[in-house]
């Protein structure tokens, strides 16, 4: 099951934006920035739960959003050339994204793996296990951001 | 299972933003605008598939994102007073959202129901059934937008 998820994610990256090819780059940047925000929201919810009062249903909701978006074909929102361009705001994508496919696949697979695992752990309601897996997913997020995201301008 | 999803969604609405209470309204507006964009992206992908070449895996990905976000406790991102405020852009929420709880629950439940059903239908790979269910989900989106969303300023 986990393997299938990874395969689907990689296929999505390979497909690029075939079915939505008519969509403007600016809209694709806006969508991917939105996905990142939704993932940030979900991570924040889980953090609040593992550091405060634990609510199993809330953690499951957030983990399911992370899993679905991690496996959601996000790679299609990174067509060539979109290291420049403005969605909600200026793109923060480094040009290296388009020249280091091996590393992109590596960080994407790590993100998929940890998000799938978090959804599994969240379903058990084991707060300590969720906290540990949340840390691993955070590292996977950071692995991609460190490599491919330009620091946000404040 | 479907009933459980609806209960979870309604609980999330009732909870408001308890665990993320320290988050600024502007961030909450930005998050909910992001969720809407992600849902729009997913609807667009399914539309492209049912109107063009049908790719079962892509439709499943998009339907899973819709299901997870529909059941993701989105109601918590609509705290009192956020009919005004700016996230990515000015809030488009009508003040009626806060005075017509029965209607909010009605449209939220319809959205949940149709999104859950779409995920179920997508898994079968039956393109005609997906097209029909996609139409029903679109109506559920519209049901909320017509009632509670201010028309986008062009």
Q: Looking at this predicted complex, what is its ipTM?
A: 0.87
DSSP state for residue A72 in the 8-state scheme: S
Identify the band that residue A3 occupies on the pLDDT scale cut at 50, 70 and 90. Answer: very low
Identify the band that residue A154 occupies on the pLDDT scale cut at 50, 70 and 90. Answer: low
Residue B41: closest C-alpha in chain A:
A31
- Quick check: A138 pLDDT over 80? yes
C-alpha torsion sign, points A18, A10, A73, B64: positive
DSSP state for residue A86 in the 8-state scheme: B
Q: Which residues fall within 8 angstroms of residue A126, CB to CB, at 6 or more apart? A: none
Q: What is the 3-state secondary structure (H, E, C) of A107-129?
A: HHHHHHHHHHHHHHHHHHCCHHH
Residue A19 has its nearest CB partner, among B11, B45, B67, at B45
Whether A41 and B31 have beta carbons less than 8 Å apart is answered as yes
Whether B115 and B137 have beta carbons less than 8 Å apart is answered as yes
Residues comprising chain A, all counted = 154
Q: Give the burial string for B91-121 (b: 16+ CB within 10 Å, else e).
A: bbbeeebbeeeeebbebbbbbbbbbbbbbeb
**Is the CB of B19 inside 8 Å of chain A's CB atoms?**
yes
pTM greater than 0.95: no
Top-confidence residue, B94 or A7: B94
Q: What is the 3-state secondary structure (H, E, C) of B123-138?
A: HHCCHHHHHHHHHHHH
- Quick check: A93 pLDDT over 60? yes
Residue B58 has its nearest CB partner, among A44, A65, A73, at A73
Q: Taking the CA atoms of chain B, what radius of gyration do you get in angstroms?
A: 16
If you average pLDDT over residues B81-88, what whole number do you get? 97
A and B: number of Cβ contacts within 8 A? 102
Question: What is the rounded distance in angstroms from the CA atom of residue A55 to the CA atom of residue B18?
Answer: 11
Top-confidence residue, A18 or B71: B71
Name chain A contacts of B44, Cβ cutoff 8 Å.
Answer: 20, 23
Question: What is the rounded distance in angstroms from the CA atom of residue A127 to the CA atom of residue A100?
Answer: 37
Compute the nearest-CA separation of A35 from chain B (Å): 6
Residue A45 has its nearest CB partner, among B20, B40, B52, at B20
Instruction: Read off the tokens for B7.
Output: 């209960």
Name chain B contacts of A72, Cβ cutoff 8 Å.
Answer: 42, 61-62, 64-65
Lowest model confidence (mean pLDDT) among A8-17, A19-28, B71-80: A8-17
Residue A21: closest C-alpha in chain B:
B48
If you average pLDDT over residues A117-126, what whole number do you get? 98
Query: DSSP 3-state assignment of A91?
Result: coil
Whether B140 and B110 have beta carbons less than 8 Å apart is answered as yes
Identify the band that residue B73 occupies on the pLDDT scale cut at 50, 70 and 90. Answer: very high
Torsion (CA) B137, B138, B140, B142 in degrees, nearest 10: 170
Question: What is the rounded distance in angstroms from the CA atom of residue B107 to the CA atom of residue A8?
Answer: 32
Name chain B contacts of A48, Cβ cutoff 8 Å.
Answer: 19-20
**Is the CB of A16 inside 8 Å of chain B's CB atoms?**
no
Instruction: Read off the tokens for B77.
Output: 């991102």
Between the alpha carbon of residue B80 and those of residues B28, B84, B123, the distances in Å are 11, 10, 38
**Is the CB of A69 inside 8 Å of chain B's CB atoms?**
yes
- Quick check: B40 pLDDT over 70? yes
Pick from A5, A40, A12: which is nearest to A116 by CA?
A5
């Amino acid at each position: 099951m986990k393997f299938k998820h990874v395969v689907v994610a990689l296929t999505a990256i390979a497909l690029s934006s075939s079915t939505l090819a008519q969509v403007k780059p600016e809209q694709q940047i806006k969508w991917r920035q939105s996905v990142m925000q939704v993932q940030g929201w979900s991570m924040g919810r889980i953090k609040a739960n593992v550091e405060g009062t634990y609510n199993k249903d809330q953690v499951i909701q957030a983990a399911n959003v992370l899993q679905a978006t991690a496996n959601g074909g996000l790679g299609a929102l990174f067509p060539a050339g979109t290291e420049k361009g403005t969605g909600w705001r200026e793109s923060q994508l480094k040009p290296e994204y388009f020249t280091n496919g091996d590393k992109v696949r590596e960080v994407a697979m790590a993100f998929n793996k940890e998000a799938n695992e978090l959804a599994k752990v969240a379903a058990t309601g084991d707060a300590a296990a969720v906290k540990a897996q949340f840390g691993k997913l955070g590292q996977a997020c950071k692995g991609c951001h460190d490599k491919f995201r330009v620091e946000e301008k404040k």
